A and B are shown apart, each in its own frame.
Chain A
Amino acid sequence: MALPRASTRWGAALLLAALGLGWAVPGGPAGAEPIVSGLSDEVIEIGARFSGSEVLLFGATEHEGDIVVVVRGPWAGVVVRRKQRIAGFWINSESVGFAGVPRYYAVASTRPLNEIAGPELLAEKQIGLENLAFQAFYVDSAEGTGPFRDAVLRSEQQERLYPAESGAIEFLGRRLFRVAIDLPPKLPIGRYDVNIHVIEAGAIVASQTQHFEVRKTGLSAQIEGFAHNQPWLYGLLAIASALMAGWLGSYFFRRV
């Protein structure tokens, strides 16, 4: 994969920082030596031409263990409705409301997750799609929340918001690693968490969390800001510009 120039520069800077810090910084709390890591971008800007992007995570660790990276956020509530055939028609019948649903969720690891840690640890840290826990704030379903949760996973996967299987962690040398986080076109706006865990013999020996933020920029941000700050004026302007477009059309085509 050809890296953009900026990312390569970042990588080099991080490599130096990682090597420097890795030796210089003494061990943190007992048994948890710090991980050194950084993101190629801390702000993803969505402009008029945005059609997906990528964030690179660089890191280094003294530990020999496996590395697991979990990216998730921003959190939302969702009401899932299920259609059932009633008298031949498809009609919304049962529904479940979930809170704490990340709109984006991706995992990368050095080995398959089940070889790295036991199910209890994976469930506790919500590592892996099957361990992603949603809290149902209301349930109107005879079959429980299971099928509704699966439906959310399926739908988010279709938009590439939940990349199905864990991505790869690439090693650059012995201790420096890199993860490419794929950001699809329909990327929700908000704050994203990147959790980095080092797991040795089925236990977490070091963790670190980084954040990046996805926000609109340029014309997109201005339009959105205008629409939210002065909605009635925005409405008038929208109608005025639609009238203008209609008038221009009829003016230019009058003599065709």
Chain B
Amino acid sequence: MDIYLPIAELPVNLFILLALGLAVGFLSGMFGVGGGFLITPLLIFMGIAPPIAVASGAAQLVATSFSGLIAHWRRENVDFKMGAVVLAGGAGGSWLGVWLFERLSAIGQIDLVILLCYIAFLSLVGLLMGVESLRAIRRRARGHGRRKAHSHTWIHGLPFKMRFPKSRLYISALPPLAIGFIMGLMASVMGVGGGLFVIPAMIYLLGMPTVLVVGTSLLQIAFVAAVAAFLHAGNNQTVDILLVLLLAVGSVIGSQYGVRVAMRLHAEYLRVLLAAVVLIVAGRLIYFLVGPLDEEFSFTFLGVF
């Protein structure tokens, strides 16, 4: 059954949208990432104009991540103070990102920059996460279960120290601010919530307890995505609310099942799986950049002339 999207101005199959939402929501609930890195390219692939895909994808992330956030909130697995510091950095990053986006659009290279960012970022995260989690699995198989909560590195020698009682950390405010800054930059340029970056950064750079990381990351994603969707709707009128709600129905349900599957799997196996998904997406994008081209030309319609 087809349904006409009022802002995207094209009919799409209702069941494809619901299935897409379910799949992305499932991954999101399972891994604690927003799934923006999957949904935005898939919407563009369905023929939805990139600005509308990015803006509506962001609004959809609000629904999925909020549903996950509530689940973690109820279990008290969210560090709101840490979240606030990271978000303060995020505001700066978003501002720079919006400016960069405009400059790059003007010279016609924005798609290349977005693609290169995606590839570099997904390959790096996928490889790091894959190697780390495979090591953890091997370590567990050999029976060396115990590990230090976190190791002291140069990060802990920085000034402006703050206490984060929930995470039991006493660290400089600079690394969380920097993480937020990069996350904001990614959200505005790439149209993703940044969960894929924030989660490893909070575990490995800040040394936060893993149990708090997913919930706190969902807090960031919900907030950043809400701000992005609001700005896109206000400035460009590119949020298609019908598209958002149809995707949200699937993704909210999917994320609940994802959370349940995640609870039955070991954290290391989850990370190996996520690394595999991320590397597959990165591989597809690399192929897109260097492989044979199906369409040499791209079009930007300028409205009625």
Contacts and interface: CB of A to CB of B under 8 A. Distances in A.
A212 interface: no
B220 interface: no
B6 A235 contact: no
Nearest to A88: B290
A226 to B, nearest CB: 9
B70 interface: yes
Given A185-B10, A223-B241, A253 B256 contact: yes
B80 interface: no
Interface string A204-232: 00000000000010011101100110011
Contact of A148 (B2, B7, B109, B297): B297
Interface stretch (B59-67, B120-128, B136-144, B206-214): B59-67
A242 B234 contact: no
A185 B256 contact: no
Contacts of B235: 231
Contact of B237 (A79, A99, A216, A227): A227
A148 B62 CA distance: 40
A189 interface: yes
B132 interface: no
Given A49-B2, A51-B11, A253-B253, A235 B299 contact: no
Interface string B56-76: 000110111111111100000
A90 B255 CA distance: 36
B149 interface: no
Contact of B111 (A82, A92, A101, A245): A92
Interface string B214-236: 00000000100010011111110
A89 B287 CA distance: 10
B131 interface: no
Contact of A223 (B7, B230, B255, B256): B7
| Majority SS at the chain B contact face | helix
Contacts of A231: 233-235, 237
Contact of B6 (A100, A155, A216): A216
A114 interface: no
Contacts of B256: 249-250, 253, 256
Interface residues of A, number: 64
B4 A48 contact: yes
A219 B305 contact: no
Contacts of B117: none
Interface in B1-25: 2-4, 6-7, 9-11
A74 B293 CA distance: 30
A245 B108 contact: no
Contacts of B60: 242
A152 B296 CA distance: 11
A245 B63 contact: yes
A243 interface: yes
Contacts of B222: 246
A52 B11 CA distance: 9
B66 A246 contact: yes
A155 B302 contact: no
Contact of B4 (A50, A151, A188, A256): A50
B289 interface: yes
Given A155-B297, A231-B234, 4 more contacts: A50-B4, A235-B231, A238-B233, A239-B230
Interface of A: 46-52, 74-83, 88-92, 95, 99-101, 103, 147-148, 151-152, 155, 185-186, 188-190, 216, 219-221, 223-224, 227-228, 231-232, 234-239, 241-243, 245-250, 253, 256
